[in-house]
Amino acid sequence: MADNLTRNDLIDALEVILQGQLRAVRSLRAGPKPRRRRADGRKSNIQTVIDILTASGEPLHVNEIIARARRDHGVDLKRESIVSALTKKVLDGDTFRRTADSAESGQRFRSMVDT
């Protein structure tokens, strides 16, 4: 960094930072974005899982979630895909939480929508 920053360089950097902060504040004021519906009218796999967990009112093992999706919704969920998506949601801290260590009793998930 042998180059010295000019006054205009600093003002430009501050402007970019402040524009980003203003966008963030405006998005908070606007509230959450409405959920997009699929063009074909079907639910996403995650929405199906949310519905299943909310209806059950209790934590379910991923195998039970898959079985209920097939039985109640006519949807075949791929285990690896669902576990990956649920794990991401658990780590994000929204929508789902893991209720037991997978080594102890398998992968059980609970919806945070109903809590």
Report the chain's terminal Cα–Cα distance, integer Å.
52
Q: Based on the structure, what is the number of domains in the chain?
A: 1
In a domain, residue 40? The reply is no
Question: 54: domain CATH number?
Answer: 1.10.10.10
In a domain, residue 96? The reply is yes
| 88-92 long-range Cβ contacts below 8 angstroms, 24+ apart | 89/46
In a domain, residue 67? The reply is yes
Tens of pLDDT, residue by residue, the chain (115 residues): 457 889 999 999 999 999 999 999 988 888 777 766 666 667 888 889 888 988 888 888 889 999 999 999 888 999 999 888 888 888 887 777 777 655 444 556 665 554 4
Question: Residues 97, 89: contact at Cβ < 8 Å?
Answer: no
pTM summary value:
0.54
In a domain, residue 101? The reply is yes
* Cα angle value 110/97/87 (rounded, 5°): 110
Q: Which domain holds residue 91?
A: 45-111
In a domain, residue 87? The reply is yes
